[in-house]
Structures are given as C-alpha cells and as structure tokens.
C-alpha cells in the first residue's frame, strides 16, 4: 500500500492529468498539444495538502504528464502509450498497468473518473457534466480562449469528493 504522501502525489498527478485531458482541442483530434498549470490537493480529513505544477503533453497514442512539487519532493511522471500506462514516483518506484485511469484507481483504492473528466471541458460551458462525475462536486470557471482551439477552456477547475479537494489552474495550452 502506498503511503499517504505518495497517495497525495498520485491524486495530484490525477488532477493534473485531468486538467490536461480537459484541454483537448476540437479542431483536429490528432493535433498534439501541451498544457501547463498549477495543482493543489487537500485532504480535509487529515489536513494534508500539496501544491505543484504540471506539464501535460499529448502523444499520438497517449500522453505524458510531469508533476513537479516544490524542491522535487513528491514529483512524478504518469504516461499512457497505447495499452501501457506507467507511473514513476520520486522515490524510484514505478507502477504499470494497461490504463492510466485503472493504475491511479488501483493505487488509490478508489475509482477516479478520468475518462469523464477528460471530456469535462470539451463540452460547452452550459452542458451537463458527464455521468461518471456524479459523485464529484465540480466547479469549472474562468473560461479562456487559446490560439488554435475553437472552444474556450475552463482555466480553473475544482473537484471535491468526500474529504478530497483538487484545484487545477490551466496557465497555458499550445499546439505542437
């Protein structure tokens, strides 16, 4: 079982990944892009929190996400290429699975609705949330247009479930 610190870092990775997934543009699904931003995780029950930055890069057959914590403590890399997902933690351990969502869910012993959140910002602002987010309280705001993307992207996303709170700020989104 992963320690609470590693669990926090994994949740942060998930948050960053979710934010980045949300920034998929509508012009051409094969266009590659990179998103950067800030992420905060807070567990209200334990009062643990973590702040970091992320860089998400889409690949032709998946993605690569780097999450940087202050001074590198708790930094990690999550990637999905085809049917292989990898989570590399700053302690040197590496975890594998077919799907990044399943990898994160297994590591946290709790389902994370990555596919639903992946679509979160693809829909217009007034559209309903995906069904898989029914257990999460979601607040998306501060929509901004990015060059080369037809749909404005929510640059602030807050996700809350039970005692977990994830805050995402998308700072930049660029096509490659």
Residue 139: Cβ-neighbour burial (10 angstroms; 0-12, 13-18, 19+): exposed
CA 7 to chain centre: 14
Which domains are assigned to the chain?
4-170 (2.50.20.10)
User: Tens-digit pLDDT profile for the chain (176 aa)?
Assistant: 445 545 544 554 444 444 444 443 343 455 678 889 998 877 788 787 778 898 888 888 878 888 888 877 778 888 889 899 998 888 899 999 998 878 866 655 555 666 565 566 555 677 788 777 888 898 989 998 888 888 888 889 888 999 888 888 989 988 88
Nearest Cα residue to 158 out of 48, 39, 56, 55: 39
Token pair for 82: 């085809």
Strand partners, 94: 88
């Amino acid at each position: 079982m992963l320690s609470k610190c590693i669990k926090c870092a994994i949740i942060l990775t998930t948050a960053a990944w979710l934010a980045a997934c949300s920034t998929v543009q509508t012009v051409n699904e094969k266009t590659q892009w990179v998103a950067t931003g800030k992420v905060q995780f807070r567990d209200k029950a334990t009062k643990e929190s973590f702040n970091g930055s992320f860089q998400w890069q889409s690949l032709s057959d998946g993605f690569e996400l780097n999450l940087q914590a202050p001074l590198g403590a708790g930094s990690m890399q999550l990637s999905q290429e085809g049917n292989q997902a990898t989570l590399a933690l700053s302690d040197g351990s590496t975890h594998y699975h077919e799907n990044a969502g399943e990898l994160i869910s297994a590591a946290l012993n709790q389902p994370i609705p990555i596919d639903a959140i992946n679509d979160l910002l693809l829909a217009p602002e007034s559209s309903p949330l995906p069904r898989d987010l029914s257990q999460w309280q979601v607040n998306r705001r501060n929509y901004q247009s990015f060059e080369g993307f037809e749909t404005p992207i929510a640059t602030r996303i807050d996700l809350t479930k039970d005692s977990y709170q994830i805050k995402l700020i998308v700072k930049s989104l660029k096509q490659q």
